[in-house]
Amino acid sequence: MPMELVKEKWSNTINTVTIGATKEEGGTRTSKITVGGEPSLPYLFGEGGMPNKPVIAMEVLDVEPKDWPQVLKEPFKDVLSNPAQWAKKCVDQYKAELICLRLQGTHPDFGNLSADKAASTVKSILDAVGVPLIVLGSGNDEKDSLVLPKCSEAAKGQRCLFGDATEDNYKTLTASCLADGHNIIGESPIDINIAKQVNILISDMGFDLTKIVINTTIGALGYGLEYAYSIMERARLAALLGDKMLSMPFVCFVGQEAWRAKEAKGLESEHPEWGPQAQRGPIWEATTAVLVLLSGADILIMRHPKAVEMVRGTIERLIKKG
């Protein structure tokens, strides 16, 4: 007698979040992206479908990155000093569905560019490409509180995704996103309780829960990824069991974390036994991405085109199997 497959029944569904506003919605985007909506754990199609497949955003910096290894710079070597052209290349040549702009140049230690300059960069990218836009600060709380509101205003009506709002620095960004019609990223340091608290604080300001995306922060392959995976898994289980304050899609900064690893950025002359960096680095990024996909990631922020291509194919195969 054949065994019957035991299926879990969940009481809640992950929120859907839409990024990008088309002309009909008051924006200028030629496309929009909706993520989330899962009624079950990832890729368990026998229990529930995945109405929206995970998406990949390619990362663009507002200044030429000084800390990127040459193998990562190589695909963008002709556009690294021009964020708008960099974004356009990601879309036209590498088929990016989203662009993620990191305003690293506004950090006091990396150029200290002004809020007006940052806003101008945001506008230039919105003019150059039609895909939805994610905008990130530099990570310096004091400067981000000046820069991100200007950028939010510059992109008003485009329904971008802005980040990151943290437990100690959420009010200014939340108010700006509320006023200008954007989505927001709530960041927590690999801690499920803080992740929930950040979402509570943001929602207490009147922000719609269906416009919040969670960044639990992750590690790369070999650098604490298993712990980050477990936090994402616990958050997703809590959400499906009914916790509304954890029922948001996940965003994972895969490229940033993977290319910090010495196995990705280490030179061949220093580690010849590791093989060619041009193969090793993208594979390290792609493997990290696939693992967070399996833990429930909805948006992947990636860097190397080869890694993007590998992961895009993996997503298609996973969805097709469903």
Residue-range definition of the domain harbouring residue 190: 17-321
Distance (Å, whole) CA 151 – CA 155: 6
Distance (Å, whole) CA 154 – CA 116: 9
Domain membership flag for residue 204:
yes
Domain membership flag for residue 197:
yes
pLDDT digits over 129-171, tens only?
A: 999 999 999 999 999 999 999 999 999 999 999 999 999 999 9
Which residues, including other chains, have CB under 8 Å from residue 26's CB and lie 6 or more apart?
Answer: 157
Q: Are 80 and 90 in contact (CB under 8 A)?
A: no
168 exposed, middle or buried (CB, 10 Å; 0-12, 13-18, 19+)? exposed
Domain membership flag for residue 71:
yes
Domain membership flag for residue 6:
no
Q: In this structure, which long-range contacts are made by residues 83-89, counting pairs with CB atoms below 8 Å and at least 24 apart in sequence?
A: 83/121, 83/124, 83/125, 84/121, 84/124, 84/125, 84/127, 84/128, 85/128, 86/60, 86/61, 87/60, 87/125, 87/128, 87/129, 88/128, 88/129
pLDDT digits over 170-229, tens only?
A: 999 999 999 999 999 999 999 999 999 999 999 999 999 999 999 999 999 988 899 999
Distance (Å, whole) CA 97 – CA 130: 10
Taking 80 as the threshold, does the pLDDT of residue 248 lie above it? yes
Q: Provide DSSP, 4-28.
A: PPP----S--PPEEEE--BGGGTS-
Taking 70 as the threshold, does the pLDDT of residue 110 lie above it? yes
Domain membership flag for residue 255:
yes
Domain membership flag for residue 58:
yes
pLDDT of residue 9: 87
| Biggest CA pair distance of the chain | 71
Domain membership flag for residue 156:
yes
Q: Could you check whether the bond before residue 164 is cis, i.e. omega within 30 degrees of 0?
A: yes
Q: Using CA of residue 262, residue 268, residue 269, residue 272, what is the dihedral sign?
A: positive
Which residues, including other chains, have CB under 8 Å from residue 24's CB and lie 6 or more apart?
Answer: none
Domain membership flag for residue 4:
no
Domain count, the chain: 1
pLDDT of residue 99: 98
184 C-beta neighbours (distance < 10 Å), count: 27
pLDDT confidence tier of residue 8, bands split at 50, 70 and 90: confident
Distance (Å, whole) CA 95 – CA 85: 14
pLDDT of residue 321: 64
Check which CATH number belongs to the domain holding 199 and give it.
3.20.20.20
pTM of the model: 0.96
